Structure 1
């Protein structure tokens, strides 16, 4: 599984920390914004496009508050996105919502917490079953 990461200028430093951390944890990491995007809309759209090409991949978008990337990515059909700032939410949104993208705010979470959030997200698996009904409802909204 590949983990794709993007950031705008406000999230670049934290994204770089996560790229290094996940690579050290032996994940296949793809940094889509080695040069930061000018705007969170650009970085979030880029991430969604990559995940539509790679149906098994996961993504992490970082901007100042996480909200901008979250709003942009959620405009796309068949991509479940969650704005998170703690490990448990990252873990459970993957398990119960089949979220493929999480968004983080560099002004909300520090490097240590961001690493924990990223690990909780990428190590969780989707439970399926009764949760698929919710995922189908989310996808029908777009």
Structure 2
């Protein structure tokens, strides 16, 4: 699995912290914003395009609050994104919604919690079964 990451200026430091941790853990990380970018819209659309082209990838987007990129990502075909603030939500959105992208607000979530959120999201598996009906409905929306 490839982990694709991006951030705007407000999420850059947290993204860099998480990227170092994931590389240390052995994840294959693609950072689409190695330099600070101002516009979360452009970064989010670039990130979703990467995920659309690479089925085996999972995305993580960082900005100040996570809400803007969350809304943008969910407008893109094939993307199911959640704005998460805790480990349980990260696990459950992956397990029940087959989420392929999360957003995290650096102005809300600190380094250690973000670390646990991302690691939980990436370690979680989609359960399928009864949840597939909802996932199919989400995928029909775009």
Q: With structure 2 as the length reference, what TM-score do the two structures score? A: 0.98
Give, in whole Å, the separation in 1 of the partners of 2:91 and 2:25. Answer: 17
1:72 and 2:60 equivalent? Answer: no
CA distance in 1, matches of 2:37, 2:132: 34
What does residue 137 of structure 1 align with? 137
Show the counterpart of 1:35.
35
Counterpart in 2 of 1:24?
Answer: 24
For residue 75 of structure 1, report the CA deviation from its aligned partner: 0.7
Q: 3-state DSSP class of the match of 1:82?
A: strand
Q: Could you tell me how far apart the structure 1 residues matched to 2:115 and 2:64 are?
A: 16
Q: Deviations over 1:59-114 (max 9, x none)?
A: 00000000011011111111100000000100110111000000000000000000
Q: Which residue of 2 aligns with 1:55?
A: 55
Residue 97 (structure 2) pairs with residue 97 (structure 1): yes
Instruction: Tell me the CA shift for residue 124 of structure 1.
Output: 0.4
DSSP-derived class of the 1:11 partner: helix
Q: After the TM superposition, which segments of 4 or more aligned residues of structure 1 sit over 4 Å from their partners? A: none
Q: Distance in 2 between matches of 1:138 and 1:117?
A: 23
Report the equivalent of 1:5.
Answer: 5
In structure 1, how many angstroms separate the alpha carbons of the residues matched to 2:105 and 2:38?
Answer: 16
Cα deviation, residue 37, structure 1: 2.2
- 1:36 shift after superposition: 2.3
Any unmatched runs of 5+ in structure 1? none
Provide structure 2 residue ranges, at least 5 long, that are not aligned to the other structure. none
Q: Distance in 2 between matches of 1:91 and 1:3?
A: 16
